[in-house]
Structure 1
């Protein structure tokens, strides 16, 4: 799967969310629980990226991060902004990658419902 689904830089994913033809923000956010579940089950290879996003989220909300803000006001805020921008881009990029993985997987398993839609793939019929 590594060769077919490549990751982009988290920074560029922030810009891609507004590009026509890419999944909307609602679809991406709705895919997060499915992505976590597929990763925990070992079906999807997003484990290390999800771990990095969790660490970034904890860094942003942690009280330990208040020390740089108190001592170096501007630098303390800039590092939070950089981590928050990376975090947002990583979430957008990984959810887009996950949605692509779901589509590819649904095509290779005939008759399986398209994840997140509750509908069956077109062109496949349910066997009786």
Structure 2
């Protein structure tokens, strides 16, 4: 990738979703399959970030997470809430970066 795209904090990215002039949630979610495909083909540099998000999502539905919530009820639930917030923000940030990359590289999204 010629120009380095800027990454933001996940929480800032989550708030930016509602800022006028940025891609909406629907457009971002529609870009996820293209983002994954471009990453797997090695065209886009999001592999590490996607892997981190996948590990976080798997952890949220794993039995290990349920054990932590059962033992440390309030702290476990707060930890899960923080992880879900980070995951949503990271996804919104990465999809915004990807859409920016698509525009900059001249690639046209598949309808």
Deviations 1:41-75 (A, max 9, x none): 00000000000000010011111111121111101
How many residues in Structure 1 have an aligned counterpart in Structure 2? 111
Task: Report the 3-state secondary structure (helix = DSSP H, G, I; strand = E; otherwise coil) of the residue aligned with 2:80.
Answer: helix
The runs of 5 or more residues in structure 1 that have no matched partner are: 107-111, 118-128
Task: Report the 3-state secondary structure (helix = DSSP H, G, I; strand = E; otherwise coil) of the residue aligned with 2:52.
Answer: helix
Give the match for residue 122 of structure 1. none
Task: Return the alpha-carbon distance in structure 1 between the equivalents of residues 63 and 69 of structure 2.
Answer: 11
Kindly indicate whether the alpha-carbon contact (under 8 Å) linking 1:31 and 1:116 is maintained by their aligned counterparts in 2: no
Look at both structures and tell me which one has the larger radius of gyration over its CA atoms. 1
Kindly indicate whether the alpha-carbon contact (under 8 Å) linking 1:17 and 1:25 is maintained by their aligned counterparts in 2: yes
Q: Which runs of 4+ in 1 moved over 2 A?
A: 1-4
Give the match for residue 115 of structure 1. 109
Q: Against the structure 1 CA distance between its residues 70 and 2, is the aligned structure 2 distance closer, same or farther, given a 3 Å change threshold?
A: farther
The runs of 5 or more residues in structure 2 that have no matched partner are: none
Deviations 1:65-118 (A, max 9, x none): 111211111011011011100000000000000000000011xxxxx6x2144x
Q: Give the alignment of 1:27-42 within 5 angstroms.
A: 27-42=27-42
- Higher helix fraction: Structure 1 or Structure 2? 2
- What TM-score does the superposition give when structure 2 sets the normalisation length? 0.94
Q: Against the structure 1 CA distance between its residues 74 and 2, is the aligned structure 2 distance closer, same or farther, given a 3 Å change threshold?
A: farther
Task: Return the alpha-carbon distance in structure 2 between the equivalents of residues 28 and 73 of structure 1.
Answer: 33
Task: Return the alpha-carbon distance in structure 2 between the equivalents of residues 24 and 102 of structure 1.
Answer: 16
Task: Report the 3-state secondary structure (helix = DSSP H, G, I; strand = E; otherwise coil) of the residue aligned with 1:67.
Answer: helix
